[in-house]
Amino acid sequence: MSDERPEPGTVRPGGRTAKTREAVLRAAGDALAEDGFDRLDLAEIARRAGVGKTTVYRRWGTVPGLVADLLNEMAADSLPRTETGSLLGDLTAQARLVQSTLSDPRQGPLFKALITAASCDPQTADALHRFYDTRTEEWAPCVTAAIERGEIPAGTSPTELIRAVSAPLYYRLLITGDPIDGAAADRAAQAAVTAAKAGAFA
């Protein structure tokens, strides 16, 4: 082992260190959204953040390491979940939320870059998995509530159903490049709910 980084900033996380981390992560997010994962220059990020490039290299080391930290930061702040009273209403709200995020001119490229970074580095991949596990768990109550209401079979897997809603939208983002519009979101939610009612996720 011994390729352990002492994880600087953990011993003295006060004022200056926190400000540096915040500034660098914000700059990293901007740069990822604008330029994409592969064109990322840590020196450029340092410049944007008003920080010495040595600091960035010392604390995060590599681009994937920095992205992983950004993902951990993003996993911290959670999103509000809608409760409409019907499974279709809830999952349509979820699909619309994903749709507006992925089609946003800043967030869309950012998420694409995050996923790209994760596919290049195991540490970043772990961070990405945790991020989406968190997001998935936030929406799981919609599914369990629908089960209690008797809308869908008892054995339905919340995880599988929630992901079935997102999957077609991410497929467009990453693979086909088709526009991610409201119609696509509604279709994704409708298809997932229909399949769930027929017991496809049980």
Partner DNA sequence: CTCATAACGGGACTCCAGTTGCATTAAAGG
Partner DNA sequence: CCTTTAATGCAACTGGAGTCCCGTTATGAG
Which residues form the interface with DNA (CB under 7 A)? Answer: 6, 8-17, 20-21, 41-43, 50-55, 57-59, 61-63
Neighbours of 163 (CB within 10 A): 17
Q: What is the amino acid identity at position 104?
A: D
Encoded tokens for 100? 């507006």
Residue of 10, 187, 196 lying closest to 98 (CA atoms): 187
Query: Shortest distance, CB of residue 38 to a copy of itself, whole angstroms?
Result: 4
Cα separation, 183 vs 10, whole angstroms: 46
Q: Which is nearer to DNA, 61 or 182 (CB)?
A: 61
Smallest distance, DNA to C-beta of residue 31, A: 12
Counting contacts by CB under 8 A, is residue 18 touching a copy of itself?
A: no
- Nearest Cα to 26, choosing from 50, 9, 6? 50
State the CB neighbour count (10 A cutoff) for residue 162.
Answer: 23
- Residue 117 C-alpha from the chain's centroid: 12
CA distances from 9 to 13, 18, 59 (A): 5, 8, 8
Q: Please tell me whether residue 123 binds a copy of itself under the rule CB under 8 A.
A: no
> Between residues 34 and 178, which has the closer beta carbon with respect to DNA?
34
Closest CB 54 distance from DNA, rounded Å = 3
With contacts defined by CB under 8 A, name the span among 4-12, 73-81, 140-148, 165-173 that binds a copy of itself.
165-173
Q: Residue for token digits 């840590």?
A: 42
Residue 112 interface partner, choices DNA, a copy of itself, none, CB cut-off 5-8 Å depending on type: a copy of itself
171 binds a copy of itself (CB under 8 A): yes
Q: Which residues bind a copy of itself (CB under 8 A)?
A: 36-39, 112-113, 115-116, 118-121, 125, 128-129, 132-133, 160, 163-164, 166-168, 170-171, 174-177, 187, 190-192, 194-195, 198, 200-201
